[in-house]
Structure 1
């Protein structure tokens, strides 16, 4: 809908407009994007028609709304703890430092949180960083996704979602060992709930669209994967799953089945153009697997499946995709996710480009254009859409305007390289979704921005303060994740 809920025509002027010509993005200097209602009706150098509203600013870059194909709306408190730490025997799997609960009972890590306030904060951070579409990966606790759906509708973000389901959960034994506790029946029940959510709450023509979220390949069974595949085909919706993100996952699968995780999914008939593999890092050929044999990348490419890459979270844990360029060269559609804080796709683009260059030892690959595509058209393709992630006539009016009038950006010769290598989410000036302005002058419109942030602080303090109730040995968060410097002891 438009800002006023009618078919008003709005003209957006930009010093640089990243338009799409049907084949690829193109740069228009001193261009315009015109939208009426929820659709773009014109992109070009000028507009001679009538206009009900005009948006312009000094040194503005106009781009498609950014797309995150892997996000968690309740990750703030967890990832802020473990950036420089975590248990070494988890082999860099950050989330296992706060997943699950004690085997003999007790609260989960997030038990003390106000879920509504936590979700509202995460949604706000996406909007303020220019993200207009997200793929939400969580299980919808505590109310089967009703709060997630309601708050997404309230703030106006576009979202692919249904509550995630799993056949196993992580638990801490009394001696601190992390174990998987299996319950295939719960996985089947979760799938049924997700199907019901999609059938009753989602609509391909609305901002809330359906996707089946098989929470983790490593916490699923062959039968649950089979039923998920059948349900997705019947409903006509995509599937996503956390995949090949743990080194142990790769080796356990290989030892138990004689197949890599990719080979197993291919043999089961699970892979397809409607599948988004979250992470997909530990494949055959990755240096850390000590399994140099090719085939996994070729198999993913042949299936048409996409990979949702979240480079910031993994660079923080000391490892990376090998490599962004190799995946593209094999013909795999690459998208970007925001799997940690900050939920800033611009930062994810920069990390994907820099880490990719470092591992390739190549200053030219991947280029800024490659990661920008992943954040726009790559994400749209992963979600099976050609009406988002691009500025073209007929596309959805999902538009992000970035303020380049600052000393961080400085003089610009190529706006895409400037955005990728110098930009931050804080530079986003205006965000339009479905023709509705949700961020203007770098401020949220749907909610009181200061109040949302204050609530997030209160939530985090409750969670961190209750960490000893959650921890298997009763330790505090400061004991498990010591601060960078000791506290001041003097007067």
Structure 2
């Protein structure tokens, strides 16, 4: 290594070095999470699991996420962001693709602590809601989301990062396909082409969205995006699960073929959807069509170890084959394939000229011993505690669970307080005025007796 770059990969003694560090660690590329919401994800624990969501086809989007998001203050979101930065670094992620508000704060903290980040300030034309727990309706902004779009363009313009010298790079995030107008999306594509920045949009993420888009346009979400010129190699589809030919939609067509032909990538978040009984059908099937499938952390737990492991296991179960969802394929999706979509030949790999974004894995722990095949050990067995250190841009930013520059103990205390305040005010944001315990009952009732 020299500075923030890898300069040579080979056997000891092949080159002269000013300093030699001997280690028994497995040294691997840092993970790249292609889908994060760091400003709110930590508070999802305990409110997103085991709930009857039949009316909305198992999604959390309609009844769970709106009251959660509405309850969070800016200070709450900043607490969540700091906790999320630590969580990603502790689980081996060195680059995130973050979508949400407060982008300047997120950029400042990522740069200060040392997490490489692609950040998109979210915007949309409106939002969904339910007023009766039965139907999904939409509320539209008078300006079609123009003010928020301009703020997002300003952020992206200030963080183009063409020379790759900074940790933070901007991109565009029109939030969801069903909450953005055609005009807003066409403006997004024009700015993306002009600045040369990426786009990520949530699409094909729920059956309610799929139904709404076919009702509006007579086209699936993917077909509609393709028809207005949004599918290309600068576009990333967040989720991309509810597509033609899947068991969820029972709808003919070739959405995956359209995605593949356009060179568009898909960011898959297997753990988050699997706990709601939803899965990509399948990781291998998409890839066999030529679609680049990447992995993200999305809500909670924000661990690419979870994402790789669940992507592999779910694919094996759905394909009914032990040689499906291979460790190599999910590891590549979490590293080099993600870097390729980001147009970064200096990330996601260890080779001369690559950035020194590295993870150092113990080989003497319960979960990593014995190690015969490092990649299989990491994908199927490793835990966060097996990561001795995480390096970003040539600097150690996490060692033995401690993230430099963050008071994680205080942040976790603040997170608990934030969550308790959110729970206590749940009825103020729920459509039916239910308390948190009425809406999402604890497993064994009241724990405070």
TM exceeding 0.5? yes
1:449-475 CA-to-partner distances (Å, cap 9, x unmatched) read 322222222222222222122223332
Name the structure 2 match of 1:216: 176
> Counterpart of 2:6 in 1: which secondary structure?
strand
In the alignment, which residue of structure 2 is the partner of 1:425? 384
Instruction: Give yes or no for the alignment of 1:76 onto 2:42.
Output: yes
Q: Distance in 2 between matches of 1:449 and 1:100?
A: 27
Taking a change above 3 Å as real, the CA distance of residues 62 and 290 of structure 1, as seen in their structure-2 partners, is same
Please name the residue that 2:226 is paired with. 266
Structure 2 residue matching 1:289: 3-state secondary structure: coil
Listed one character per residue, the Cα deviations across residues 345-395 of structure 1 (whole Å, up to 9, x for unaligned) are 011100000001111111101111000000001111221211100011001
> How far 1:53 sits from its partner (Å)?
4.8
Do 2:67 and 2:426's aligned partners in 1 also have CA atoms closer than 8 Å? no
State the SS of the aligned residue for 2:385.
Answer: helix
Conserved? CA contact 1:71–1:337, under 8 Å: yes
Q: Measure the CA separation in 1 of the matches of 2:389 and 2:332.
A: 20
In the TM superposition, what whole-angstrom CA distance separates every residue of 1:188-211 from its partner, at most 9, and x where no partner exists? Answer: 222211111122244232111111
Give the Å deviation of 1:51.
4.4
Superposition pairs of residues 131-146 of structure 1, within 5 angstroms: 131-140=93-102, 145-146=103-104
> Which structure shows the bigger proportion of residues in strand conformation?
1
Equivalent in the alignment of 1:165: 123
Alignment partner, residue 481 of structure 1: 440
1:457-468, aligned counterparts within 5 Å?
457-468=416-427
Gaps of 5+ in 1: 1-34
Residue 247 of structure 1: how far off its partner (Å): 0.6
Structure 1 residue 80: Cα displacement = 3.2
Match of 2:53 in 1: 87
**Shift of residue 184 of structure 1?**
6.1
The residue number in structure 1 matching 2:203 is 243
> 1:394 & 1:66 partners in 2: Cα distance?
18
Per the TM alignment, residue 138 of structure 1 is displaced from its structure 2 partner at its CA by: 1.1
> 1:129 maps to which residue?
91
Q: How far apart, CA to CA, are the structure 2 residues paired with 1:176 and 1:365?
A: 38
* 2:320 is the alignment partner of 1:355: no
Give the superposed CA RMSD. 2.1
Given that residues 160 and 195 in structure 2 are in contact (C-alpha distance below 8 angstroms), is that contact kept between their aligned partners in structure 1?
no
Q: TM-score, normalised by structure 1?
A: 0.86
Which of 400, 404, 409 matches 1:450? 409
- What is the CA-CA distance between 1:68 and the residue it aligns to? 0.3
C-alpha spacing 1:186/1:428, structure 2 compared with 1 (3 Å): farther
1:86, CA displacement in angstroms?
4.9
How far residue 267 of structure 1 moved from its aligned partner, in angstroms, is 1.6
Deviation at 1:101, TM superposition (A): 5.5
| DSSP-derived class of the 1:164 partner | strand
Q: Structure 1's 396 and 485: CA in aligned 2 closer, same or farther, altered over 3 A?
A: same
Q: Secondary structure at the match of 1:313?
A: helix
Matches within 5 A, 1:327-338: 327-338=286-297
Structure 1 match to 2:9: 43
Residues 347 and 424, structure 1, Cα contact 8 Å, conserved in 2: no
Partners of 1:446 and 1:52 lie apart in 2 by 28
Q: 1:296 to 1:458 in 2, by over 3 A?
A: same
Aligned pair count reads 446
TM norm structure 2: 0.94
Counterpart of 2:94 in 1: which secondary structure?
strand
Measured after TM superposition, the shift of residue 433 of structure 1 is 0.6
Alignment of 1:34-433 (within 5 A): 35-49=1-15, 51=17, 53-58=19-24, 60-73=25-38, 74-100=40-66, 108-111=70-73, 114-140=76-102, 145-173=103-131, 178-183=136-141, 185-204=143-162, 205=164, 206-291=166-251, 293-433=252-392
- Partner Cα distance (1:231, 1:109) in 2: 32
Listed one character per residue, the Cα deviations across residues 137-161 of structure 1 (whole Å, up to 9, x for unaligned) are 1133xxxx22111111111111111
488 and 294 in structure 1: CA distance in 2 versus 1, 3 angstrom threshold: closer
Match of 1:436 among 390, 395, 418: 395
Cα offset, 1:429, TM superposition:
1.3
Residue 175 of structure 1 deviates from its aligned partner by: 7.4
Q: How far apart, CA to CA, are the structure 2 residues paired with 1:255 and 1:114?
A: 37
Instruction: Tell me the distance in 2 between the aligned counterparts of 1:54 and 1:155.
Output: 26
CA distance in 2, matches of 1:178, 1:247: 11
Q: Does the aligned pair in 2 maintain the 1:86–1:94 contact within 8 Å?
A: no
| Secondary structure, counterpart of 2:423 in structure 1 | helix
- Aligned partners of 1:390, 1:338: CA distance in 2, in Å? 20
Q: Per the alignment, do residues 170 and 263 of structure 1 end up closer, same or farther by CA in structure 2, a change over 3 Å counting? A: closer
